[in-house]
Each structure stands twice: as C-alpha cells, then as structure tokens.
C-alpha cells in the first residue's frame, strides 16, 4: 500500500539528520534505569541505624552486635561475635537461638552487612539492623574502635 503524495515525505519513522536510532540505545537506557533502581532499593527485611543512634542504644541496653567484615578488622567495643559475611550459615551455632532477637550487623562500610542480613533472613532471623556506613561511619562520628 503506497502513501498519498501529501504524506510521502512526512514519515514519523524517519530520523532527523545526525540522530542515531535503533534498539541498542533503547535497550541500554532501559538496562541503566533498571540497574539504578536495583542499586537504591533497600530490602524490607533489614533496617538501618546510624552510628550515634547505635551508640546510644548500646549504652542503654544489651544488644547482640555482629561484625561481618572480611578480612577481620578492629571492632566496635561491645561486639559479641565476628562472622565473615559470606559464611553466616557455617556459624549458625554461634548465633542466637531466638530468631526474633534483635541482631545489629556491621562491616567496614555497609555492603557486607546487607549481604549478611540477607543470609540471616534466609535462616529465619526477623529483627535485623545494619549499621549505616559501617565501621567507617562509626569512626567518622568520633566513636571508639578497639
């Protein structure tokens, strides 16, 4: 079917001069959007806490604090346990038996804490909190590391 003469040179599918078109560009844009959305989405099974708030909490009550950073580093005073973030299942016997007990997790900067929280959640733990910014944020806030 041919176009009427008046429509022949008005094709919407024709790109403007100098404009590149094609699926690779659209695919890249959609991929970048999806990737950025995933990077900023916080899992709903882990809460975050800032260094000063965690410090106040530690002064007022006994909490279960776990360092999950590898390699092992200096710890926040009061840390109950060191478990490599990628070996949580291997050390289940050292974790609290009560799966509803609050567990506070930290690493050097935060990502390993999130990975550990995912593993703990898969083991049935339901009250998980990761130190936002990890031990680096703790030190930056002027709090002691031992």
All domains of the chain in start order, with CATH: 46-140 (3.40.250.10)
Strand partners of residue 65: 104
Q: What pLDDT was estimated at residue 10?
A: 53
Residues of the chain with pLDDT under 70: 1-42
Q: What pLDDT was estimated at residue 42?
A: 64
Q: What pLDDT was estimated at residue 36?
A: 43
- Angstrom CA distances, 82 to 3, 21, 67, 73, 146, stand at 73, 53, 5, 10, 13
């Amino acid at each position: 079917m041919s176009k009427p003469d008046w429509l022949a040179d008005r094709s919407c599918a024709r790109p403007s001069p100098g404009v590149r078109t094609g699926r690779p560009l659209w695919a890249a844009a959609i991929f970048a959007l999806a990737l950025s959305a995933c990077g900023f989405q916080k899992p709903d099974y882990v809460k975050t806490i800032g260094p000063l708030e965690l410090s106040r909490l530690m002064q007022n009550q006994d909490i279960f604090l776990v360092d999950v950073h590898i390699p092992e580093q200096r710890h926040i005073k009061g840390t109950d346990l060191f478990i490599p973030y990628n070996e949580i299942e291997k050390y289940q016997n050292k974790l609290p038996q009560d799966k509803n007990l609050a567990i506070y997790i930290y690493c050097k900067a935060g990502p390993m804490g999130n990975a550990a929280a995912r593993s703990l959640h898969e083991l049935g733990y339901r009250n998980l909190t990761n130190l936002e910014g990890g031990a680096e944020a703790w030190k930056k806030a002027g709090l002691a590391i031992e």
